[in-house]
C-alpha cells in the first residue's frame, strides 16, 4: 500500500517539484498539498500548479483531520511549526528541509522524535551529504596552516543567510578542528582592519538571479589552495533526496534520523 503523503509548502519552488515528482513516481498517495492561507494559488489543483496533469488535490491551508504516513515540509519557519504540531498530534513521520528554524522549533523537532520518526536535513542531495561526511576529515588532515572560507550562492528570493547547508559544513569543520561553533564564524568582512584571524571560518553569502545552490569550501595556505565544491543543477536533486528519505522513514521507530541513515553512509 502506498504511503499517504502530505506536502507542506506545496506551491513554493521546492514544493511544486515535490508534488510533480511524488505524483510521477507512483510511490505515494498524495492526500494534501498545504500552503499559507494568503498564497495566490490556494484552491488551485496542486498538479496543475506543479506543471503536470491535474492531481485531484487542491492547494489548501487546511490540514487533514486524520493521520498521514509522512509529511514533507519545505515551507517557511512559521509553516514548519504547523507541520511539526500536526505530526506530533498524529505521531506522523516528518521529513523537514526548512531552514532558518529558531531554537524552540529545533526543540519541538527533538520532542517529536520521541514519538515519531523524523529526518531533519539542511540539504537532501546525495552529493552534498557525502561532502558533509568527509569535510571534517579534510579539515583535520590539512591542519591549522590552512585558512578556511565558505562561499554559498543562491537565488535572490532566499530569505535566510548563510544557508543551512553552509552552516552545516562549517559546523562539521569546527567539530573536527576543535573550534567553538558558531563563535568561530566570520560572516563577511568590511572595514580598514579586517585581517583574517586564526581558527576562524569565513562565511560569505551571495544572492542573485535564479541560482539553485552553489557551495564551495576553500582551504588555502601559503603556496596552495584546495577547493571542494558542490553545484545543484536543479531543485530536483533535493526533491529526489527528500522523497527517498520519506519512503525510507515510513514504518521506522521513533527517533531523529539523518540523510546519513537514509544513504547508509
Catalytic-labelled residue, pool 108, 154, 204, 215:
154
Residue 58 a catalytic site member:
no
Catalytic-labelled residue, pool 44, 155, 158, 252:
158
Residue 204 a catalytic site member:
no
Q: What is the DSSP string of the chain?
A: -PPEEEEETTTSHHHHHHHHHHHHHTS-EEEEEE--TT-TTTTSBHHHHHTSS--S-BEESPPPSS--SEEEE-S-HHHHHHHHHHHHHHT-EEEE---S--HHHHHHHHHHTTTSEEEE-S---HHHHHHHHHHHHHHHHH-TTSEEEEEEEE-TT--SSS-HHHHHHHHHHHHHHT--TTTTEEE---SS--PPPTT-EEEEEEE-TT---EEEEEEEETTEEEEEEEE-SSTHHHHHHHHHHHHHHTTPPSEEE-HHHHHT-
Residues labelled catalytic = 154, 158
Amino acid at each position: 500500500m502506498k504511503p499517504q503523503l502530505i506536502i507542506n509548502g506545496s506551491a513554493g519552488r521546492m514544493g511544486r517539484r515535490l508534488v510533480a515528482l511524488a505524483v510521477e513516481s507512483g510511490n505515494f498517495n498524495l492526500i494534501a498539498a498545504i500552503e499559507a492561507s494568503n498564497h495566490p494559488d490556494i484552491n488551485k489543483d496542486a498538479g496543475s500548479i506543479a506543471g503536470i496533469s491535474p492531481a485531484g488535490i487542491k492547494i489548501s491551508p487546511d490540514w487533514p483531520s486524520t493521520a498521514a504516513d509522512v509529511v514533507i515540509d519545505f515551507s517557511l519557519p512559521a509553516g514548519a511549526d504547523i507541520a511539526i504540531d500536526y505530526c506530533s498530534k498524529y505521531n506522523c513521520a516528518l521529513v523537514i528541509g526548512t531552514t532558518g528554524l529558531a531554537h524552540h522549533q529545533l526543540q519541538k523537532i527533538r520532542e517529536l522524535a520521541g514519538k515519531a520518526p523524523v529526518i531533519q536535513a539542511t540539504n537532501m542531495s546525495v552529493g552534498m551529504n557525502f561532502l558533509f561526511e568527509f569535510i571534517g576529515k579534510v579539515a583535520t588532515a590539512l591542519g591549522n596552516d590552512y585558512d578556511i572560507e565558505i562561499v554559498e550562492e543562491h537565488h535572490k528570493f532566499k530569505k535566510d543567510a548563510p544557508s543551512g547547508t553552509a552552516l552545516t559544513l562549517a559546523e562539521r569543520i569546527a567539530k573536527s578542528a576543535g573550534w567553538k561553533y558558531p563563535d568561530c564564524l566570520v560572516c563577511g568582512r568590511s572595514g580598514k582592519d579586517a585581517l583574517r584571524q586564526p581558527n576562524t571560518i569565513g562565511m560569505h553569502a551571495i544572492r542573485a538571479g535564479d541560482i539553485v545552490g552553489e557551495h564551495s569550501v576553500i582551504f588555502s595556505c601559503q603556496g596552495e589552495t584546495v577547493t571542494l565544491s558542490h553545484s545543484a543543477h536543479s531543485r530536483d536533486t533535493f526533491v529526489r533526496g527528500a522523497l527517498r528519505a520519506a519512503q525510507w522513514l515510513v514504518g521506522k521507530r521513533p527517533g531523529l534520523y539523518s540523510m546519513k541513515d537514509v544513504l547508509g553512509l
